[in-house]
Chains A and B, each alone.
Chain A
Amino acid sequence: MQIKIIIFGQLCDLLGENLVLDNIADTDSLTAALHRKYPELVNTKYMIAVNKKLVVGNIILSNNNTVALMPAFSGG
Chain B
Amino acid sequence: MDNPISYERYQRQMILQDFGAAGQQKLLKGKVLLIGAGGLGCPALQYLAAAGVGTIGIIDDDVVALSNLHRQVLYSVNDIGLPKAERAAEKLRQLNPEIKIITYVQRLTNQNALSILEAYDLIIDGTDNFATRYMINDACILLNKPLIYGAISQYEGQVAIFNYRKSDNDEAVNYRDLFPDPPKEDEVLNCAEAGVLGVLPGIIGAMQANETIKLLTGIGKPLINRMLTFNALNNQAYEIELFSRPETRSLIPGNMDIFEATNYEWLCSSMTEQYEIDCKYFDILLASNTIDVMDIREVDEMPGIDEFPILRVPLKELSENVSLIQSDTVVIICQSGVRSLQAAKQLSAIFGESKKIFSLKGGIMEWKQQHTKQLL
User: Which residues on A are within 8 Å of B, measured CB to CB?
Assistant: 6, 8-10, 43-45, 47, 49, 52-54, 56, 68, 70-76
Find A6's partner among B129, B184, B196, B238 (CB 8 Å cutoff): B238
A48 to chain B, nearest CB (A): 10
Asked if B127 and A8 sit within 8 Å, CB to CB, the answer is no
B125 to chain A, nearest CB (A): 8
User: Which residues on B are within 8 Å of A, measured CB to CB?
Assistant: 36, 38-41, 125-130, 133, 150-154, 156-158, 177-179, 181-185, 187-191, 194, 196, 201, 229, 238-245
Asked if B183 and A68 sit within 8 Å, CB to CB, the answer is no
Q: Which residues of B contact A76 (CB under 8 A)?
A: 36, 38-41, 125-128, 150-152, 191, 201
Asked if B241 and A43 sit within 8 Å, CB to CB, the answer is no
Find B151's partner among A44, A49, A73 (CB 8 Å cutoff): A73
Q: Which residues of B contact A71 (CB under 8 A)?
A: 153, 183, 188
Asked if A54 and B41 sit within 8 Å, CB to CB, the answer is no
Asked if A52 and B241 sit within 8 Å, CB to CB, the answer is yes
A61 to chain B, nearest CB (A): 16
A68 to B150, CA, bound (A): 19
What 12 new A-B contacts, CB under 8 Å, besides A8-B238, A47-B178, A75-B201?
Answer: A8-B229, A43-B184, A47-B179, A56-B244, A71-B183, A72-B151, A72-B179, A73-B153, A74-B128, A74-B129, A74-B185, A76-B125
Q: Which residues of B contact A44 (CB under 8 A)?
A: 183, 187
The residue of chain B having its C-beta at the shortest distance from the C-beta of A55 within the complex is B243
The residue of chain A having its C-beta at the shortest distance from the C-beta of B192 within the complex is A75
Q: Known contacts A54-B243, A73-B156: does B41 contact A45 (CB below 8 Å)?
A: no
A4 to chain B, nearest CB (A): 12
The residue of chain A having its C-beta at the shortest distance from the C-beta of B196 within the complex is A75
A58 to B36, CA, bound (A): 36
A45 to B156, CA, bound (A): 17
